């Protein structure tokens, strides 16, 4: 009789642990479009401070989804990081840019206190060219 109870408790604990691993705030670095399926993208540049993604015919929605996905998967132990989306490899225009800050102190240092948030980590988003050509 104890074996089924123990197995049920172990299964419940495993389910809770797995659900905890999929915390949207942790996976998506404080971004607001959690759960949006990203478009296919190609990583053009990946340095310690900057990532650049190629999303052909990107719109604001597809660019933010790609940024959310990429930052969520690649932030690792960085305190701050910027990623941007372009439509072509030789693009002179950025569709959207996202900057991740691990905490308020990091944001204060890098922005002179202009970035604030009610929760951390936090990612700012700007889209200077949000519409496809």
Residue 76: the pLDDT is 83
Query: What is the model's pTM?
Result: 0.71
| Conformation bin of residue 76: beta by default, left when phi > 0, alpha when psi is -120 to 50 | left
The per-residue pLDDT for 32 is 52
Q: Return the pLDDT at 36.
A: 76
Reply yes or no on whether the pLDDT at 122 is more than 90.
yes
Angle at 55 between CA 52 and CA 60, to 5 degrees: 95
Say if residue 131's pLDDT is above 70.
Answer: yes
pLDDT at 23 over 70: no
Question: Cβ distance 75 to 50 under 8 Å?
Answer: no
pLDDT at 126 > cutoff 50: yes
Residues in the chain: 133
List Cβ neighbours of 62 (8 Å cut-off, separation of 6 or more). Answer: 38, 39, 55
- 3-state class (DSSP) for residue 52: strand
Q: Which two tokens stand for residue 4?
A: 């089924």
The answer on pLDDT for 109 being more than 70 is yes
């Amino acid at each position: 009789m104890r074996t089924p109870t123990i197995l049920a408790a172990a299964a419940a604990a495993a389910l809770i642990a797995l659900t905890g691993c999929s915390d949207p705030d942790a996976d998506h670095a404080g971004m607001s479009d959690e759960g949006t399926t990203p478009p296919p993208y190609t990583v053009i540049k990946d340095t310690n401070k900057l990532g650049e993604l190629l999303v052909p015919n990107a719109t604001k929605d597809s660019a933010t989804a790609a940024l959310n996905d990429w930052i969520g998967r690649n932030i690792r132990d960085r305190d701050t990081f910027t990623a941007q989306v372009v439509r072509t490899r030789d693009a002179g225009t950025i569709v959207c840019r996202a900057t991740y800050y691990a905490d308020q102190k990091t944001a204060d240092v890098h922005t002179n206190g202009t970035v604030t948030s009610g929760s951390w980590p936090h990612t700012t988003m700007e889209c200077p060219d949000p519409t496809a050509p």
